[in-house]
Amino acid sequence: MNYYFHIPFCASKCGYCAFYSIPEADRFLIDSYLDQLERTLHSCGTAETVYIGGGTPTYLSAVQLKRLFAIIRSGIDITPETEISCEANPESITPEKCGILRENITRISMGVQSFDAAVRKNIGRHCSGKVLEDAITLIRSAGFPHWNMDLIFALPGQSDESFFAGAEMAVEYGVDHISCYALTAEENAALKLPEDDEHAAEMMPEICDFMNARGFRRYEISNFARPGCECRHNCNVWKGGRLAGFGPAACGFDGTDRWSNGTLDEWLTGRTPMQDAIPHMARLQEIFAVNLRTADGWTPDMWAEVPNADSWARRLEIIREIAANFPAEWFDISAEHIALTGNGMMFWNSVAGEIFDHGA
C-alpha cells in the first residue's frame, strides 16, 4: 500500500500554488489536525511508500513534526524497504527539523522553484538567498539517501539563462532528482498567466538535453532522476497502485474507486469522503492514460498487475486506434510495449483526452 499525508499548513500562499492550503495557521489548529490523524490512523498495514506533502510539512514546529512521525510510525508498518518522502521549504527548515527528518525519511523534496531572488519575489516566495543557501547546507550535511529539488521554468521575469543556471546549481549541490515544472494557469492560483504555453513547450527539449548530459533521465513528463533514484511513490500511483490518503483534500484509491477528503473542517469532524465511482472501463482508461506520462509506459506484465485489467491485445487495439489521430512520432508501440516518445509526452494532455473519450 502507498500512503499520502496532506499537511495543509503554510506560512503564506505562493502565487503559483493551487493546492489546498491554509496560510498562517496557529499551533492549536495544527494540534487539532494531529489529534484527528492520531484518531484515524491505526492498524493500516505495511507501507511500500509514504509521501508527506502539502502545504508545507516543515511549517510544523519541531515538536509537532516529531509527533507527526510518531503517529505515522504507530499506525503504519514501516519496513527498511519503505520509501518515505517529505516535502520541505527552505524558509521553514531548521537544524532541529532537519535532524528529525533525517531520522524518519529516506527522501526529501525541497521547493526551490528558482535560484533567482527577483523571480522568487514575483511568484510570492519570501525566501532570501541566504535562507536558501542555509537550508541547502543543512540538507547536504544531513546526508539524506535521496534528495529532490523542484524548479519551475517559464516564470514571469525569468530568462532561459536564469533557469538553466539554477538547474546547474541544483546538479552541483548533489541532488539525485530534479522536478521541472512549466508554470501553468491554475484556476485557484493567485498568479494569473496567459493561456499560451508555447515558450514552455519549446524549452522542454532543451531541458531534456541539459539533464541527459548531466546523468539525469527524464522518466516522467516533468521529472528527471539519476538511475535508481526515481520517486517510487509517484511511479506506483501513476500505474494505478492502491493509495490511502489522510488529511484534508487527500485522495485514496482502492483499485476500483477513488475517494477524496473535504476541507480541514470537514476532515476534522469525520465527514465521509467523496466517492468517485466510475464504470470499470472508464477507470481502466484513466489508469492506462496516466502511466503514459512516464517514459517507460506499459508492458504486458505491468498491465496484468492492474486490478481487473482487460487483455493486452485490447490495449494495443485501443492505442493504435487513438494513435491514428496524431503524428506517428508521438508514439512508441510494439507487441510488447506501449509508450509516448519524448515528443509525444509534450502532448500528453491531447492523447489522454482521446483515451478518456474512448472509454466514455
In the chain, where the domains are located: 2-236, 278-360
Return the minimum-mean-pLDDT range out of 157-161, 189-193, 299-303, 347-351: 189-193
Cell of 85: 518522502
**Contact present, 211 and 178 (Cβ < 8 Å):** yes
Q: How many CA atoms lie within 13 A of 223 on its CB side?
A: 21
Query: Which residues touch 321 (CB under 8 Å, ≥6 apart)?
Result: 358
Residue 220, beta-bridge partner list: 223, 294
Cell of 133: 543557501
Proportion of the chain above pLDDT 90, given as a percent = 82
pLDDT tens digits along 190-208: 555 544 467 888 899 999 9
Cell of 76: 503504519
Helix, strand or coil for residue 237? helix
Residue 109, beta-bridge partner list: 87, 148
How deeply is 255 buried, as exposed, middle or buried, from its count of CB atoms within 10 A (0-12, 13-18, 19+)? middle
Look at residue 42 in the predicted model and tell me its pLDDT: 86
Neighbouring C-beta atoms of residue 151, cutoff 10 Å: 23
What does the alpha-carbon distance between residue 245 and residue 237 come to, in Å, rounded to a whole number? 12
Q: Record the pTM.
A: 0.93
Is 280's pLDDT higher than 70? yes
Q: How confident is the model at residue 18 (pLDDT cuts 50, 70, 90)?
A: low
pLDDT tens digits along 128-171: 889 999 999 999 999 999 999 999 998 878 899 999 999 999 99
Look at residue 238 in the predicted model and tell me its pLDDT: 97
Cell of 327: 503524428
Domain 2-236 has CATH 3.80.30.20: yes
**Contact present, 107 and 226 (Cβ < 8 Å):** no
DSSP state at residue 292:
G
Q: What are phi and psi of 157, to 5 degrees?
A: 80, 5
What does the alpha-carbon distance between residue 356 and residue 174 come to, in Å, rounded to a whole number? 39
Is 57's pLDDT higher than 80? yes
Look at residue 146 in the predicted model and tell me its pLDDT: 98
